[in-house]
Each structure stands twice: as C-alpha cells, then as structure tokens.
Amino acid sequence: MGMRVGYARVSTVGQKLDVQMDHLADCDRIFREKASASSTKNRPELKSALDFVREEDVFVVTKLDRLARSVVDLSIIVQRLEEKNVDLVVMDQGIDTTTIYGKLQFNILAAIGEFERGLIRERSLEGRERAKSRGVVFGAKPKLSSQEIVELLKDYETPGCSKREIAEHYGISTSSVYRLYYENKLALSA
C-alpha cells in the first residue's frame, strides 16, 4: 500500500490553509501553497506533489477547485496521476478512484473534459477559418516590404556583397536572407 499524499491550496495570501490541513491530517505528506489556480506552472507545490507521488499512492484534496481551474485542467492532472498508477480522492465531492464506483464517476468526468477540449479545439479552428475568409492574416507581420525583397534579391546576386552585410542592412538574420532569396526566386521562376 502506498502513501496518502495531500495537496492544499488557497488563492490569496490572506486566506488560511487551516481547514484544508485539518481534513488532510491523515495524509503521510502534505504539499501546501498559496497561489492562484491559473495554471499548473504557477503552482510549484502542485507540480512537486505530482512529481512526488508513486505507484499505488493516493493523491488527496479537499475539493476539486483546490486542484484544478477547469475540467480540462483536471483531466490533464488526472492523466498524469493515471500514468503513475496513482488514485485520486476528492473529499468534499465524494470522489474516490480507489473504488470501482469512484473510478466510474471519475471516468465520466474525464470524458466530459475530453469533450470540452474537443469543443474548444473545434471552435478555435472555426474561428480561424472565419477570420481567414475575412482576409485576416495570421502570424508575424513581414519585416520587409515587397519592394525591399526585390532589392534584397538584387543585392544577393551582386558579386562581392556579403550575406551578413545584406542581413545588417535590412535588419534581419543571415538565415532569413537565404530563406527570402530562395523562397522568392522559386516564386518568380514558377
């Protein structure tokens, strides 16, 4: 049997961890932090806890909102736990993946999370397509105008003109000089 590893979090400095710590008292180790749930990156103690847990451990939190900011975030965290063969217990919501009923309940939540991620991806693609049809161009704005590219092509083919000098003159990298030359030479010869 593995360890019970607890995780407690409050969002603001003024809040206290006391209530969560009382609920997690039977854990072998507790990770605690005062941080917003905006992302796992901004919660170093959560990352440490997820790195710490080992096969057959049980990861314990008092409430889902202490662990994740969204269903998508939750499903990512749970996937990490599943990969390590670690169970999850969420005390206030009665989720306990050490039981078959808890696993069923949690798999339903995970399926909803996957569905939500799919919807977000789909909406994002639809939005990009609508924007493209209206003429929106994605990506960085070109550093050189079409006239400057024509001049660059001439400079490139001028004997004795170094590629480094060309790059400095146009404020771009040497690799961009080569790329622009070959992209535009191919386009002009096609």
| SS3 state of residue 40 | helix
Which CATH number does the domain housing residue 181 bear?
1.10.10
Q: Which tokens hold the place of 145?
A: 């105008």
Question: Of 64, 92, 114, which one is at a domain's C-terminal end?
Answer: 114
Strand partners, 88: 59
**Residue 85 φ/ψ, nearest 5 degrees:** 60, 50
Q: What is the pLDDT of residue 1?
A: 74
Q: What is the pLDDT of residue 58?
A: 96
Question: Of 114, 136, 168, which one is at a domain's C-terminal end?
Answer: 114
37 within domain boundaries: yes
Question: Of 114, 131, 159, which one is at a domain's C-terminal end?
Answer: 114
Strand order in the sheet with 58-61: 29-34, 4-10, 58-61, 87-90, 95-96
- Of the two residues 104 and 24, the one the predictor is more confident about is 24
Provide mean pLDDT across the span 61-83: 85
Which CATH number does the domain housing residue 41 bear?
3.40.50.1390
Strand partners, 152: none
Residues 100, 156, single domain; the answer is: no
Based on the residue annotation, tell me whether 70 is a catalytic residue of this protein: no
- Of the two residues 110 and 47, the one the predictor is more confident about is 47
Residues 10, 88, single domain; the answer is: yes
- How does pLDDT run across 159-173, given as a tens digit for each residue? 888 999 999 999 999
Looking at every residue in the chain, the average pLDDT score rounds to 86
Residues 78, 155, single domain; the answer is: no
Residues 158, 64, single domain; the answer is: no
Q: What is the pLDDT of residue 40?
A: 56
Q: Do 24 and 62 contact (CB within 8 A), yes or no?
A: yes
Residues 61, 106, single domain; the answer is: yes
Number of domains in the chain: 2
Per cent of the chain over pLDDT 90 is 40
> Element (H or E) spanning 44, and its range?
helix 44-52
Q: Is the pLDDT of residue 82 over 60?
A: yes
- How does pLDDT run across 171-187, given as a tens digit for each residue? 999 999 999 998 887 76
Residues 109, 152, single domain; the answer is: no
126 within domain boundaries: no
| SS3 state of residue 85 | coil
Report the alpha-carbon distance of residue 146 to residue 95 in Å, rounded.
Answer: 61
Supply the pTM of this predicted model: 0.59
Residues 82, 155, single domain; the answer is: no
Report the alpha-carbon distance of residue 81 to residue 58 in Å, rounded.
Answer: 9
Domain encompassing residue 10: 4-114
Q: Which tokens hold the place of 187?
A: 């386009």
Residues 17, 84, single domain; the answer is: yes
Report the alpha-carbon distance of residue 70 to residue 167 in Å, rounded.
Answer: 46
Q: Is 56 left (phi over 0), alpha (psi -120 to 50) or beta?
A: left
Report the alpha-carbon distance of residue 33 to residue 56 in Å, rounded.
Answer: 24
Residues 22, 103, single domain; the answer is: yes
Residues 103, 166, single domain; the answer is: no
Report the alpha-carbon distance of residue 12 to residue 46 in Å, rounded.
Answer: 16
